[in-house]
Amino acid sequence: MSSIPLENNDPKGTQTNAQILLFPARLSAAEDRRIDYLFSVRQVVEVLLNADVQYVPFGPEHAEGVTDWRGRILPVLSLESCLGMKMNETVQPTRPIVVRSVSQDSQGQVKDSYAVFQVGAAVRQLSLPLDCEPRDVPSWIADETCLRGVYQMENHLFLIPDLEKILDAKRIEN
Amino acid sequence: MPQLAIFQSGNVHFAVERDCIRLIEPITTALKAASGRNRKQTIAHKGQSMLLIDLAVGLGAPAAAPHPRSAKMIVIKGQPAMALWADRIHGVVTAGAEDMDALPLVFAGTARACFPKVLRRKKGLALIVDTGVLARIEASGEDHGLIRQGVREERHAPASETGAKRPGEIPVMRADITVENIVDMKLHQFIGQRVKQVLEQTMTKTMARQGVHL
Based on the number of CB atoms within 10 Å of its own CB, is A167 exposed (0-12), middle (13-18) or buried (19 or more)?
A: buried
Q: Do A172 and B104 touch (CB under 8 A)?
A: yes
pTM: 0.72
Q: Do A72 and B12 touch (CB under 8 A)?
A: no
CB atoms within 10 A of CB B25: 13
Q: Do B55 and A73 touch (CB under 8 A)?
A: no
Per-residue model confidence as pLDDT tens for chain A (174 residues): 333 444 434 444 444 568 999 999 988 766 678 899 999 999 999 999 989 999 998 888 889 899 999 999 999 999 988 888 877 777 678 899 999 998 777 777 788 889 999 998 888 999 988 888 999 888 888 888 889 999 998 888 999 999 988 887 445 544
Write out chain A residues lying below 8 Å of B120, CB-based.
68, 71, 73
> What is the rounded distance in angstroms from the CA atom of residue A97 to the CA atom of residue A100?
10
Q: Do B104 and A52 touch (CB under 8 A)?
A: no
Looking at the complex, report in whole angstroms how far the Cα of residue A146 sits from the nearest Cα belonging to chain B.
15
Q: Which residues pair with A173 in a beta bridge?
A: none
Name the helix (H) or strand (E) containing B85.
strand B82-86
Tell me if chain B has a CB within 8 Å of the CB of A4: no
ipTM above 0.85, yes or no: no
Write out chain B residues lying below 8 Å of A68, CB-based.
120, 124-125
Q: Do B104 and A57 touch (CB under 8 A)?
A: no
Kindly report the length of chain B: 214
Name the helix (H) or strand (E) containing B178.
none
Residues of B with CB under 8 A from a CB of A: 11-13, 55, 58-59, 63, 101-111, 114-115, 118, 120, 124-127, 165, 169-170, 172
Tell me if chain B has a CB within 8 Å of the CB of A173: yes
Three-state DSSP string of chain A: CCCCCCCCCCCCCCCCCCEEEEEECCCCCECCEEEEEEEECCCEEEECCCCCCECCCCCCCCEEEEEEECCEEEEEECHHHHCCCCCCCCCCCEEEEEEEEEEECCCCCEEEEEEEEEEECCCEEEECCCCCEECCCCCCCCCHHHEEEEEEECCEEEEEECHHHHCCCCCCCC
Write out chain B residues lying below 8 Å of A77, CB-based.
106
Residues 6+ apart with CB under 8 A from B157: B144
Over chain B, what is the mean pLDDT? Answer: 75
Q: What is the DSSP letter of B177?
A: -
Most confident of A16-20, B11-15, B152-156, B192-196: B11-15
pLDDT in tens, B12-31: 899 999 999 999 998 876 66
Write out chain B residues lying below 8 Å of A67, CB-based.
125
Is the Cα torsion angle B26, B32, B34, B37 positive or negative in sign?
A: positive
Interface size between A and B, measured as CB pairs under 8 A = 80
Kindly give the pairing relationship between strand B146-148 and strand B151-153.
antiparallel
B148, B190, B194, B200 from B187: Cα distances, Å: 19, 5, 10, 20
**Residue A105 phi, psi dihedral angles, 5° rounding:** -85, -175
